[in-house]
Amino acid sequence: MKQRQNNLDRLRVLAMLLIVFHHYGVHSDWSNIPSASWERICLNILSPFGKVGVSYFILISGYFMSRSHLTSKKIWNLMQYVRKYSLLIAGLFFILGYHLDYISMWSYFLPTIFQVYWFFTYYVILQFLIPVIRPWLRQTDRSIQAKLILLFVAINYIPRILGVGLKVPNAYYPNEALAFLSIALLGHLIFIYQLKFKKYLPIFGVLSLISVFIMFQQHYFIENYPWSFDPSMNDFYFSLTGLNSLTMLVFSVSTFILVLYLPNWPAKFPKLNQLMFGVYLVHDHPLMREWLWKKLIHNELLFPHYKRFILASLITPLIVFLLSILAVYVIDILGIKIWLLCETKLKKLNKANYLS
């Protein structure tokens, strides 16, 4: 069990790295890159896995769902943690001379409610749902759980696919909160059946390869499939970039199961996974995102020198990832130590003044 825990800790780090590469690909300005070029191929390889990274975080939450002890206080502390980063970054940009209007300040003050961070809004909703679902998970037979969970996932993914493929209007379409819940329940299903899954690892390996192949051949499938699909809905079928994508779901779940059984090795940075939420809050704040990918990094200078472009596309997100880890470490680790040190000195000073 400890080996699987260590593997999931490392998966959190990999998931956040995938998210950073995805943000580099989708938030930078690539308007001057032709569709048929080495640069576009490079981006198509590096950037599609952001929602896979998000899915890994949700699967991990679902994996520990039945054993977690979430309370309203813990959820409140998570919301406060998000708000701390939101206000800290907004305050930094205000000091640097950025104009922040009244509406923006309200959103940064209440980031979970106003979706300053898309992921955390739905992640917090999921945390509220877990304590409600947990008693049912503990009391219900495993086989019944499996049937109901798989039926719930099918209801969330299949109707829209059939509706678009058969051109039936008003087909059911799950919102993102239900997508989060579906993925989390699959994580719980992996937990209760993980020992049985071990003998099917080759099958999950094949599923992960097939899903990646489909993703990279998505244009061929869309153009040549006998049904007339709505191009705006291709995320549901062939892409890894949509949270409701069937391809993304198959890839995420199959690779998640494979990661559980990877060989264990000594962890050189055992607490690194604890900083990953902070990395998301630092680099994907709306103000930071706009400044980071469009003003600090001038991507247009890299085109059309594709060798330089490919090298920069590999190194730039990695540097942002490492600098974000450093920023989170300073804020979360050193900041707390400095606060406690100041608090201790203030108490000693007050005590000395009282005695005098």
Q: What is the overall mean pLDDT for the chain?
A: 81
Look at residue 270 and tell me whether its pLDDT is greater than 80: no
Predicted confidence at residue 281, as pLDDT, reads 93
DSSP conformational letter for 140: S
**pLDDT (tens digit, 9 = 90+) per residue, 209-265?**
988 887 777 655 555 554 445 555 545 555 566 787 888 899 999 999 999 888 776
- 199 touches 188 (CB < 8 A): no
Confidence band, pLDDT 50/70/90 cuts, at residue 341: low
Look at residue 56 and tell me whether its pLDDT is greater than 90: yes
For the chain, the three-class secondary structure string (H helix, E strand, C coil) is CHHHHHHHHHHHHHHHHHHHHHHHHHHCCCCCCCCCCHHHHHHHHHCCCHHHHHHHHHHHHHHCHHHCCCCHHHHHHHHHHHHHHHHHHHHHHHHCCCCCCHHHHHHHHCCCCCCCCHHHHHHHHHHHHHHHHHHHHHHCCHHHHHHHHHHHHHHHHHHHHHHHHCCCCCCCCCCHHHHHHHHHHHHHHHHHCHHHHHHHHHHHHHHHHHHHHHHHCHHHHHHHCCCCCCHHHHHHCCCCCCCCCHHHHHHHHHHHHHHHCCCCCCCCCCCHHHHHHHHHHHHCCHHHHHHHHHHHCCHHHHCCCHHHHHHHHHHHHHHHHHHHHHHHHHHHHHHHHHHHHHHHHHHHHHHHHHHC
The CA R_g of the chain, rounded to the nearest whole Å, is 23
Look at residue 278 and tell me whether its pLDDT is greater than 80: yes
Range in 76-80, 172-176, 252-256, 273-277 with the lowest mean pLDDT: 172-176
What sign for the dihedral angle of Cα 175, 29, 291, 13? positive
Q: Average pLDDT, stretch 109-118?
A: 87
pTM of the prediction?
A: 0.87
Look at residue 67 and tell me whether its pLDDT is greater than 90: no
Element (H, E) at 243: none
Look at residue 329 and tell me whether its pLDDT is greater than 90: no
Look at residue 271 and tell me whether its pLDDT is greater than 80: no
Instruction: Choose between 4 and 78: higher pLDDT.
Output: 78
Instruction: Choose between 134 and 270: higher pLDDT.
Output: 134
- 85 touches 282 (CB < 8 A): yes
On the 0-12 / 13-18 / 19+ scale of CB atoms within 10 A, 15 is buried
Confidence band, pLDDT 50/70/90 cuts, at residue 70: confident
Predicted confidence at residue 353, as pLDDT, reads 53
Confidence band, pLDDT 50/70/90 cuts, at residue 343: low
Range in 64-73, 153-162, 290-299, 346-355 with the lowest mean pLDDT: 346-355
